Amino acid sequence: MRKFSLISSLLFIIPGMALADESTTRCTYGDMVRRVVIMSEPGVSVPCEVHYFKDTEAPGEDQVLWSASQQSGYCEEKAARLVENLQGWGWDCESAAAAAPEAAAPAEEPEAPAETEPGED
């Protein structure tokens, strides 16, 4: 019965993770791209999930490799170990916070053309 209760609880928690805080590591190997993403509720470390994306091979699909409902730091440890393995296999990895999309830098306004006297070009 306890197992059923835990599963029921996770079903209500997991959909909320779509709007959760994320920590993302992006790895490349040639033209292939993989992402390791830790998802959790805003402001807390558990519950959490470690998602793995194969962006070039299976766009839009992900696998949940690990999850934790009570052990703080579990997802971070598992994700870090996976990234270390990827780097050991030759992947180049960079971490980036993905809780909010990067704001595009405002475009510089073009300089106004110098004013010329009528008849001058």
First CA to last CA distance, the chain: 86
**Whole-structure pTM value:** 0.63
Please determine, for residue 12, whether its predicted confidence score (pLDDT) is greater than 90.
no
Report pLDDT for 43: 87
CA 21 to chain centre: 9
Question: Which tens digit of pLDDT belongs to each residue from 48-101?
Answer: 999 999 999 999 999 999 999 999 999 999 999 999 999 999 999 999 854 433
Question: Which tens digit of pLDDT belongs to each residue from 22-55?
Answer: 899 999 999 999 999 999 999 888 999 999 999 9
Please determine, for residue 119, whether its predicted confidence score (pLDDT) is greater than 80.
no
Name which residue leads in pLDDT, 26 or 10: 26
Name which residue leads in pLDDT, 26 or 112: 26
Report pLDDT for 72: 93
Which of 89, 90, 84, 112 is CA-nearest to residue 25?
84
